[in-house]
Amino acid sequence: MTLDKNWFVEVAPEAGFAQALKIRGKLHEEQTPYQKLEIFETENWGNLMTLDGLVMLTARDNFVYHEMMSHPPIMNHPDPRRVAIVCGGVCGTLREGLRHPAIEKVIQIEIDKAVTRAAEKYFPELTEANDDPRAELLFSDAIEWMKRQEPGSLDVIIVDSTDPVGPAVGLFQSAFYADCLRALGETGVLVQQSESPLLHMDILKAMRAEMKSAGFEQTRTYQFCQPTYPSGWWSATLAGVGVDLMEFREQDARELPFEGRYYSADMHRASMAMPPFVEKAFAEDLG
């Protein structure tokens, strides 16, 4: 919503919380077949994309999210070659994944082509890897796509989805996770953004339960700051088969052929430490 012409305000009524960004004006507005897409120019955060009135990214801080959605799961896998990105229409996660020379293929499955087209125009730095020969962009239903994948055809699955409402609800359910597990085969890593541990613990716990119900051997949640998301404290949750999610290729992470703005081996290790109240909440679910 807009408080007045100078501010964009996102309200999280379930948490009694709101935050605002000062804007200069609206650059784009479109009702796609799936959601309302808007682009604003802000005073201090560059361009802002919102979907159905919720902040998706700003030019200033999106690097945190995209680096932390891509590099940890890739580094958790012992030999990642084939990656699928579910949603991720702005292509920032795609760009980050393709920074790894060992990756042979990244397939992005986004249902709303309008999101990618808007990113190409208003966030071109995020789409600069779209022409990489290792990248394949599909505009279709990722849930149906995952059902058709051959067992063991993927190494890493990154679910870069919106919140669990509307078309994204199915991406947070055990049936989808079971299809992901089959596609990963004997060794694989799944990661999905899992909201704020402070505001959305119910969603986070439900996700982990659905992942385990689908057959994943273990789950692990990690954290990172995300200033323009509600509370500024965000998380992603890993689910693994045939891997130890508490370990990663740390030496490789220290010798990456690129420099992360947020991600590093030390930040990877640190992100796995969660506050006691979060660990207690997860332990309670284990009975």
Inter-residue contact 109 to 87 (CB < 8 Å): yes
Domains and CATH numbers, the chain: 2-58 (2.30.140.10), 62-285 (3.40.50.150)
Q: How many CA atoms lie within 13 A of 72 on its CB side?
A: 35
Q: How many CA atoms lie within 13 A of 132 on its CB side?
A: 24
Inter-residue contact 158 to 127 (CB < 8 Å): no
In order along the chain (287 residues), what is the average pLDDT of each group of 10 residues?
77 89 97 96 98 96 98 98 97 98 97 97 98 98 96 97 72 93 96 95 93 95 97 96 96 96 98 94 73
Which residue is it, tokens 């694989």? 188
Inter-residue contact 225 to 277 (CB < 8 Å): no
- Burial readout 213-241 (b: 16 or more C-beta within 10 A, e: otherwise): ebebeebbbbbbebebbbbebbbbbbbbb
Determine the pLDDT at residue 5.
Answer: 78
Determine the pLDDT at residue 163.
Answer: 72
- Burial readout 160-194 (b: 16 or more C-beta within 10 A, e: otherwise): bbbbbeebbeebbbbebbbbbbbbbeeebbbbbbb
What is the rounded distance in angstroms from the CA atom of residue 237 to the CA atom of residue 190? Answer: 8
Stated pTM of the model: 0.95
Is 4 a catalytic site residue? no
What is the rounded distance in angstroms from the CA atom of residue 273 to the CA atom of residue 74? Answer: 19
Q: How far apart are the first and last CA of the chain?
A: 41
Catalytic residue among 160, 163, 179, 285: 160
Closest C-alpha among 16, 80, 103, 90 to residue 59: 90
Q: Is 286 exposed, middle or buried (0-12, 13-18, 19+ CB in 10 A)?
A: exposed
| Phi–psi pair at 137, nearest 5 degrees | -105, 120
Determine the pLDDT at residue 283.
Answer: 87
Determine the pLDDT at residue 56.
Answer: 97
- Burial readout 14-25 (b: 16 or more C-beta within 10 A, e: otherwise): eeeeebebebee
Q: What is the pLDDT of residues 60-103, one digit of tens each?
A: 999 999 999 999 999 999 999 999 999 999 999 999 999 999 99
Beta strands in the chain (DSSP E): 2-4, 7-12, 17-31, 36-42, 47-51, 54-58, 82-87, 105-109, 135-138, 156-160, 188-193, 218-225, 233-241
